[in-house]
């Protein structure tokens, strides 16, 4: 049965939907385009939960009727049997609706719809860690493609053996942050390196940072606080490599945050990418500082997002991936590495939803 607080909130949302429906038919509202747009938008946002409430109320009425039949001793055994079957089915359907509506009733993270800046860095484990940075990035590219998001590399520092010290990328698309925010933390990989003659399992780690992108209006950066350096690109890039100063490095002097980008041949494009990353890093650093001051020991079921927290293990010999925050283990690592993250992400979302429900 749904919690009383959530049910009351649901009833209020359905009532407000009907109120808006009536208001939008009034001449005084129709004659004011701005107000019409505002109320129409609010009504559209409330419509899914209001429609579900209508169905929920209908099921409740049918359940009441079926219960009355079960309580009536004069009803025949066949009527009791049918009423019992109907009651079981209606309760199942009602429970499904209660789960569906929680998506609309539980407070939504305002950052969920945003694009994001993703940073993957090699941790402990030397060359193995560097190799896994590249493999994890490939996993995220495939996952992003399945969700219809665009991935744009900002910075990549190669090690020369096919690995990377770090990779920074923009992942763009409505709702991208809601899918990737659970990836922040330490990822551990266990496998036998190609260079290991004795066949011993090696353990290494990489760290992942996920920062919602912020608009220019969300954070004011004084141009006087920036030091911008240009230099020649390195790596693949055709004739412009090492001949044109297209790469850009931007340093935010007050915070010491440094961002570089050399992915594009155009210095302007590299500068724009670097600024987008810089804004996200500055805001994320400030948010983490505030959260640490408010609740130093706070932890939730989906993890704190601290860089030192081990959130997941990828065990190649056992074809196993384990997310330690929710205790889920899947024996299909080869599919996960191809971007099949849905089962893990959905489990994390459900856990967070339960935590948010408890707060309501």
- In the chain, the percentage of residues whose pLDDT exceeds 70 is 87
Q: Quick check: 242 pLDDT over 80?
A: no
Q: pLDDT tens digits, residue range 329-349?
A: 999 999 999 999 999 999 998
Q: pLDDT tens digits, residue range 187-230?
A: 999 999 876 767 789 999 999 999 888 765 456 778 888 888 88
Domains of the chain are 4-105 (1.20.58), 116-294+302-359 (3.30.70.1660)
Q: pLDDT tens digits, residue range 105-130?
A: 777 788 888 899 899 999 999 999 99
pLDDT value of position 89: 93
- Per mean pLDDT, which of 227-236, 278-287, 298-307 is the most reliable? 278-287
pTM of the predicted model over 0.75:
no
Cβ atoms within 10 Å of 305's Cβ, excluding its own? 20
- Residue of 184, 213, 183 lying closest to 117 (CA atoms): 213
Q: Quote the strand ranges of the chain, DSSP E.
A: 116-122, 150-158, 164-172, 185-191, 202-212, 226-231, 247-252, 257-261, 310-315, 320-323, 328-330
pLDDT value of position 5: 76
Cα 205 to Cα 60, 71, 113, distances in angstroms: 52, 62, 29
Q: pLDDT tens digits, residue range 122-171?
A: 999 999 999 999 999 999 999 999 999 999 998 899 987 889 999 999 99
The rounded mean pLDDT for the chain is 85
């Amino acid at each position: 049965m749904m919690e009383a607080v959530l049910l009351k909130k649901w009833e209020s949302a359905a009532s407000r939907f009907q109120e808006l429906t009536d208001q939008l038919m009034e001449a005084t509202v129709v004659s004011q385009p701005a107000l019409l747009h505002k109320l129409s938008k609010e009504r559209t946002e409330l419509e899914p939960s209001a429609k579900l409430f209508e169905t929920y109320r209908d099921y409740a009425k049918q359940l009441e009727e079926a219960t009355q039949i079960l309580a009536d001793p004069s009803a025949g055994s066949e009527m009791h049997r049918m009423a019992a079957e109907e009651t079981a089915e209606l309760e199942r359907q009602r429970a499904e609706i209660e789960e569906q509506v929680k998506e609309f009733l539980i407070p939504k993270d305002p950052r969920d719809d945003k694009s994001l800046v993703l940073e993957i860095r090699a941790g402990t484990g030397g060359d193995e860690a560097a190799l896994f940075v590249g493999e994890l990035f490939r996993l995220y590219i495939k996952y992003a493609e399945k969700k219809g998001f665009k991935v744009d590399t900002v910075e990549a520092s190669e090690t020369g053996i096919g690995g990377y010290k770090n990779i920074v990328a923009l992942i763009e698309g409505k709702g991208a942050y809601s899918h990737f925010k659970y990836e922040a933390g330490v990822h551990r990989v266990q496998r036998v390196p190609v260079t290991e003659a004795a066949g011993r399992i090696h353990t290494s780690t990489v760290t992942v940072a996920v920062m919602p992108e912020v608009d220019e209006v969300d954070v004011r950066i004084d141009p006087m606080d920036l030091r911008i350096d240009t230099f020649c690109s390195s790596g693949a890039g055709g004739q412009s490599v090492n001949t044109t100063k297209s790469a850009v490095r931007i340093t935010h002097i007050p915070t010491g945050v440094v961002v570089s980008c050399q992915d594009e041949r155009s210095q302007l494009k590299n500068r724009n990418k670097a600024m987008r990353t810089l804004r996200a890093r500055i805001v994320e650093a400030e948010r983490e500082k505030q959260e640490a001051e408010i609740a130093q020991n706070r932890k939730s079921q989906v993890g704190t997002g601290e860089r030192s927290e081990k959130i997941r293990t990828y065990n190649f010999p056992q074809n196993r991936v384990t997310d330690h925050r929710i205790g889920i283990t899947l024996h299909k690592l080869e599919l996960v590495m191809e971007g099949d993250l849905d089962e893990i992400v959905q489990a994390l979302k459900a856990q967070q939803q339960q935590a948010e429900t408890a707060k309501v």
